[in-house]
Structure 1
Amino acid sequence: MKRKIMFIASFLMIVIFAANLYSQDWPQFRGPSRDSKATGFKAPASWPEKLELQWRDTVGTGDASPVLVGEKIYLHTRQGGDEVILCLDASTGKEVWKESYASASSTGPSASHPGPRSTPAVASGKIVTFGVTGILSCLDAGTGKVVWRKENPTNAVPSFFTGMSPLIVDNVCIVHVGAKDNGQVLALDLNTGNEKWKWSGDGPAYASPSLMRIEGQKHIIVQTEKNLMALNFSDGKLLWQVPAIPIQRFYNCVSPYIDGNKIYYTGQGTGTKALEVVKQGSNFSTKELWSTAEVGAKWNTPVLINGFLYGFTDLRKIYSLNAANGQTGWIDAATSSDFATIVDCGSVIIGFPSTGYLIVMKPDPKAYTEIAKYKVSETPVYAFPVISGNTIYVKDAETLMMYKID
């Protein structure tokens, strides 16, 4: 009897550990809802002096964030002359499957970032990737078998190559493809790759589309190279658009943050703006709520917590902004990086600038309060950390690492 009780206890411990390890899927760019929220994270009573590295694997070059679904973590990288899609066991880092295809790398000013930048999307047993030269692929997420692939024979890419991450909604893959002043937003059947609809107009920016649910409808919010716009998910028709023209040395790299019928957007070099989407009869329009020139970002989409936006400015400083009126809460004096990601972990915020430091801070609208800071990479980082429970995956220049916070 005692042996049986010990066996049951051991089994339950394994189940609890597994549930904790895979408590949060991160299946696409900026997380499950594209709002950079990581649920299931529990801040330790006392933060450790350092994070414990569980494993490290060399996976290839690239700035695309890893994605996590169940017990598998997926990456899109570059190895030699190929772009590679990898599936690894999330607990051990061991390779489950690998699929590769020949692809040119970026050239010119972008040559220092030759690998994919677009984060894969996983849904309905499929994984969709978008290569640095515009090759769009859909694979079986369980086996790595190619379901469909669309080449880019005309090499139509933005000036600095691709940066848009695919979106999957109701078994439809949404992508913004093309080149400067000549882009197409495509809605493709996830199972076949067949086109359901196409919108043509502005070229793609380096931001990524998101889904807005409003008045019982689904709208695709797209930051193009010079406009912010909404397309009807059902047919691709343009619902509204507002100018979002970047000034010199800015290129619309920031994906907008959507909160109900409100949108917060930045990245043009002119600060941050908030607008509200309203329905008038059968049509939709926008109303600007506020605009501030004091705080803006170049790369980083903020997070929204209890009515305040938190992020990294284009002057490389962490900030807090009142989402109701655009008034600055605070701007920290320390200089960090203008390229950074930030994740809402509930009781804490985790910022991750390209310097390789994980910065843990309180979501405090009154003052910047740093809780802990950890060096987790010796090379620059341009990908989101994947936070699942108290496990953190970090993709740097060429490796994927798994850390634990106990």
Structure 2
Amino acid sequence: MLAPAADWPHFLGPDRNAVSGETGLVRSFPEEGPPILWEKELEVGFGGCAVVGDEVFIIDRVRSESDLLLCLDAATGKEKWRFENPAEGEPPFPGSRSVPTVEEDAVYFVNAFGRVFRIDRKSHKAVWDVKLDERYDGATPKWGWAQPALVVGDVLIVTPFGEKIGTVGLDKKTGEEIWKSGPIGDSHSSPTVLEFGGEKQVVIISVTDKDGKGGLVTSYRPTDGTVLWQTDLYYNKIPIPIATKVGKDRLFVTGGYDCGSKMLKVENSGDEYKLTELWSADKGSQVHPAFEIDEHLYFLANENSNHKVKSRRQTGGLSCWTLDGKELWNTGDEPFMGRGGMVHADGMLIIQDGENGVLRLVDPSPKGFSMLAEANVFGSDLRKRFDLKYWSPPALSDGRLYMRGQDRLLCIDLRKK
């Protein structure tokens, strides 16, 4: 029986970790593949979906013309309304970047050039917008701003990445500043909400010196921007995945670009926090975060340095690790799965292949790779070995899986009949 439908209201779902509580999902596909309920043509881009009730929200971008926020009917994929804003140039790897953040009365999104919007869900107009480089002398990251707007209570948290101001908290209703914090370099990783020592915290990974290998992991109190702790124990020259909380007091940080991964311990005594390194690994996930499932870690160990070289592809694929840093198995090149996104739901990993969009259902087990089902839902030519850059994070709501393949959005029915 399908569990009550859960909204997917922002980046990586209800708890910002790509984990869904839905059950009653299929564990096999018919020969022709799972039912595709609808398909929506999009411009080229990477922006993923948010789903609230019977509406799907996605950021799109007409190249060099405009940024778009689209609201679609969840049942049919038909457009209900849109918000459009003139483009401000074009970032490298053209197209949208982020995932909208949806609340009852508003939708928030950040475009590739750091303009933050609050859109009224009734009028479909901007209530306010803030340009981070103008207000805070922000510096555009290498491939533009990819971070979603993070809402915690009444505070909307965004990252200017300026020389003097790294992170700010805005009043979500007015856009006025509530707090600001010092520089942290820049990042393509998104701030996320984690809890340590019984305290809700906003944690972000950043890089301060690419040549000198300087990196930071910083934790803020979301209400006032107080830095709760900060460590330079992890470095990645282009951070992208969010940090993953492991157990009560551990933090797994990972990335690509041959910078590997680390497991950190977060200890607190009163108001003081201390971070120590437990172990490190050469492998990492370039785009999407790792999952802790039944005291094991799972991530796609795929990055620039191994996806083009056949001999190195053997080291990648889906990888399973113990919590003390031992790799138990990896799928290598069979299947490799590129820099795709995953959702953990109903005891399965639901994986979108980042190279060709193939959908796979996997039973996560430390005993070895166990694929339950796979389907070429985008109809890709699987004989060709090239990366279609299907890197967008999937979304799952009411048994429907939303997968973006650059210029197409698919709604796939995973509900048992």
Category of TM-score, reference length = shorter chain: 0.7 to 0.9
The separation in 2 between residues aligned to 1:252 and 1:46, in whole angstroms, is 35
Q: Is the 8 A contact 2:241 2:288 kept in 1?
A: yes
Give the counterpart of 2:174 among 192, 195, 199.
Answer: 192
Q: 1:58: Cα distance to partner?
A: 1.7
CA distances 1:26-51 after superposition (whole Å, capped 9, x unpaired): 11111111111022132336432202
The separation in 2 between residues aligned to 1:139 and 1:156, in whole angstroms, is 24
Letter in 1 for 2:157: I
Q: Is the 8 A contact 2:233 2:277 kept in 1?
A: no
Q: Is the 8 A contact 1:22 1:70 kept in 2?
A: no
Q: What do you get for the CA RMSD once the two structures are aligned?
A: 2.2
Give the gaps of 5 or more residues in structure 2. Answer: 208-214, 307-315, 381-387
Q: 1:338: Cα distance to partner?
A: 4.0
| Aligned length in residues | 379
Give the counterpart of 1:215 among 189, 197, 219.
Answer: 197
Q: 1:346: Cα distance to partner?
A: 2.7
Q: What is the percent sequence identity of the aligned residues?
A: 24
Give the counterpart of 1:386 among 375, 382, 395.
Answer: 395
The separation in 2 between residues aligned to 1:65 and 1:214, in whole angstroms, is 28
1:78 aligns with 2:61: yes
Query: Which residue of structure 1 lines up, in the alignment, with residue 384 of structure 2?
Result: none
Give the gaps of 5 or more residues in structure 1. Answer: 1-15
Q: How does 1:78-97 map to 2 (within 5 A)?
A: 78-80=61-63, 81-97=65-81
Letter in 2 for 1:96: K
The separation in 1 between residues aligned to 2:396 and 2:231, in whole angstroms, is 34
The separation in 2 between residues aligned to 1:21 and 1:193, in whole angstroms, is 37
1:273 aligns with 2:268: no
User: What's the secondary structure of 2:159's corresponding residue?
Assistant: strand
Query: Which residue of structure 2 lines up, in the alignment, with residue 138 of structure 1?
Result: 118
Letter in 2 for 1:237: T
Query: Which residue of structure 1 lines up, in the alignment, with residue 299 of structure 2?
Result: 311
In the superposition, the TM-score normalised over structure 2's length comes to 0.85
The separation in 2 between residues aligned to 1:98 and 1:57, in whole angstroms, is 14
Query: Which residue of structure 2 lines up, in the alignment, with residue 367 of structure 1?
Result: 368
Q: Is the 8 A contact 1:134 1:156 kept in 2?
A: no
Q: 1:21: Cα distance to partner?
A: 10
Q: Is the 8 A contact 2:99 2:148 kept in 1?
A: yes
The separation in 2 between residues aligned to 1:328 and 1:321, in whole angstroms, is 4
Query: Which residue of structure 1 lines up, in the alignment, with residue 277 of structure 2?
Result: 288
1:401 aligns with 2:400: no
Query: Which residue of structure 2 lines up, in the alignment, with residue 37 of structure 1?
Result: 19
CA distances 1:84-121 after superposition (whole Å, capped 9, x unpaired): 111111111122211101012434xx1xx222211111
CA distances 1:186-227 after superposition (whole Å, capped 9, x unpaired): 111111111110112122211111112233422111111221
Q: 1:288: Cα distance to partner?
A: 2.3
Q: Is the 8 A contact 2:266 2:274 kept in 1?
A: yes
Q: 1:245: Cα distance to partner?
A: 5.7
CA distances 1:250-292 after superposition (whole Å, capped 9, x unpaired): 4111211124432111116332211222212321221323222
The separation in 2 between residues aligned to 1:140 and 1:343, in whole angstroms, is 29
The separation in 2 between residues aligned to 1:84 and 1:335, in whole angstroms, is 35
Deviates more, 1:352-361 or 1:236-245: 236-245
The separation in 2 between residues aligned to 1:46 and 1:277, in whole angstroms, is 40
The separation in 1 between residues aligned to 2:233 and 2:174, in whole angstroms, is 34
Query: Which residue of structure 2 lines up, in the alignment, with residue 147 of structure 1?
Result: 127
Query: Using a 3 Å threshold, how does the CA distance of structure 1 residues 161 and 45 change in structure 2: closer, same or farther?
Result: closer
